[in-house]
Amino acid sequence: MKYVIIGNGIASIGAIEGIRKVDAASEILVIGAEDSPAYGRPLISYLLAGKIGPDRLALRPAEFYEKSNVTLKLGTTVTAIDTEAKTVTTDAGETIGYENLLIATGGIPFTPPIPGADGPDVYNFTNLAHAQTLISKAREIKRAVVIGGGLIGLKAGESLFDRGVEVTILELSPRILSLAFDENAASLAGGRLAEVGLAVRCGVSAKEIQRDSAGNLKGVHLTDGDFLQTDVVVIAIGVVPNYGLAKESGLEVDRGIKVDDHMRASAPGVFAAGDVAQARDLLYGDDRVIPIWTNAYNQGFCAGKNMAGADVRFLGSLAMNSISFYGLPTISVGMVNPPEDDASYEVTAVLDEKKKSYRKLVFQDDHLVGYVLVGDIDMAGMYTAFVKFQMPIPEEARRQLVAGEPDVLMWPDDFFQETWNPGTPE
């Protein structure tokens, strides 16, 4: 087989589209552990919330795989990779040879050891099966506790709340969304959730999950001594790279599968992309695991092209999140919480609590390296341009950015011309 892809998420889709940019014909085999064609993983919160039906989950039109000459082997787990023989073995006992292999196995939920966690009614919320379980569960329960006040936790909480469940979200750190957002943005988002009726408790976590003698879930003991009655617990603390298979196969692994600037792993013909890979970060320049949707696609796309024989460097991952809380949109891109002791960063922030609008820009030297927008997000892409293209920002332009008026005419003339109106004389 010319191309074998392990995993059927967005990195896999990126890879297929990347391969097809270069190689229109050779067969591609995708081996996915889940049962459905690639779906929009973040959509599971929309599904759980009842905003969309299962028919809207698919990432690509039904004919995509056929048109792209892709064979799907779903519900199948790869159990071993032999990088010498260039084969993979599946749980069905099948051994498949590959010329180019992409490992895009994504992440698995991180579950801390909480006493009482083993047993029924403790769930994760990272895949379609979890969502389906929670949908059927939601019909019969009254209360839920979500452990984790990050993006997944909040979306899980919001979605269950939309199903009529009383929700309490627990966040160990002093505020929600501590990774992707800063305090102001988090407080606007938290405020919006509280306004709607979700309970968000920061600075506490679950100490123990209480069960009765029959093992039925009763509630959660908190670190501050409180006890919350609940029917289900959703653990949504985060995901960790799913690199077990790669590690066992002898591929070099650090926090994720190590890849070079062409997304190549440490064995010939083997690539990795997405949440499982540790790849170059655009802003920091070092290799990191950045489990972000867009990066997964881009890495897959880059890997796919290289698998098909192109010579394309991965430009680097850029952390970015867009998420709405009951109609309050929030966006964060790049570096949003610069280290306070580093004087090279300069932060400007404009907060309007009444309008629920917030704009924070993080500059380093004369570059924009990150931003947060809450509420008024319409110009987000224009800010992204400055981060992504690392354009120098003169004083006047900076004033305009800070005032919330970024535009394409601030771009350097050559770059503007090349981007928007290439190939014109003079």
Partner 1 sequence: MKRVYPDKEYCIGCHLCELACITAHSASKDLIIAYRDERAASGLSPCKRVFEKGDTCVAISCRHCDEPSCVAACISGGLHKDPETGRTVYDRDKCVGCWSCLMACPYGAIRRHPIENKIVKCDLCEGRAEGPACVQACPNAALKYEER
Contacts to partner 1 by CB under 8 A: 14, 17, 20, 40-43, 46, 51-52, 56, 58-61, 67, 293-294, 297-298, 301, 320, 322-324, 329, 331, 333, 377-382, 384-385, 388-389, 406-410, 416, 419-424
How are the residues of the chain apportioned to helix, strand and coil, as percentages rounded to the nearest 5? 25, 30, 45
Residue closer to partner 1 (CB basis): 219 or 291: 291
Least distance from C-beta 246 to partner 1, angstroms?
23
Q: Cβ(28)–Cβ(72) under 8 Å?
A: no
Q: Which residues of 371-385 are buried (b: 16+ CB within 10 A; e: fewer)?
A: bbbbbbbebbeebbb
Angle at the Cα of 81 from the Cα atoms of 80 and 83, rounded to 5 degrees: 155
User: Token pair for residue 423?
Assistant: 């190939």
- CB of residue 56 vs partner 1: minimum separation in angstroms? 6
Query: How far apart, in Å, are the Cα atoms of 359 and each of 335, 352, 399, 402?
Result: 14, 9, 13, 8
- Evaluate whether 148 touches 236 at the Cβ level (below 8 Å): yes
Q: Decide whether 111 or 324 has the Cβ nearer to partner 1.
A: 324
In the bound state with partner 1, the residue whose beta carbon lies nearer, of 216 and 419, is 419
CB closer to partner 1, 61 vs 225: 61
**Residue 88 or 361 having the CB closest to partner 1:** 361
Residue 90 DSSP symbol? E
Residue 80 or 408 having the CB closest to partner 1: 408
- Give whichever of 17 and 261 is closer to partner 1, judged by the CB atom: 17
- Under 8 Å between Cβ of 175 and 187: yes
Collect all residues with Cβ–Cβ distance below 8 Å to 348 and sequence separation of at least 6: 360, 361, 363, 402
CB of 206 to partner 1, least distance (A): 29
Find the helix or strand (DSSP H, E) in which 417 lies: helix 413-420
Shortest distance (Å) from residue 331 CB to partner 1: 5
Give me 153's structure tokens. 């936790």
In the complex, the smallest distance separating the C-beta of residue 13 from partner 1, rounded to whole angstroms, is: 9
Q: Residue 343 CB, nearest distance to partner 1 (Å)?
A: 28
225 burial class (0-12, 13-18, 19+ CB within 10 angstroms)?
Answer: exposed
Residue 225 is encoded by which pair of tokens?
């001594």
Alpha-carbon radius of gyration of the chain:
23
Residue 68 or 89: which CB sits closer to partner 1?
68
Kindly tell me the number of DSSP H helices and DSSP E strands found in the chain: 11, 26
| Least Å from the CB of residue 306 to partner 1 | 14
CB of 388 to partner 1, least distance (A): 5
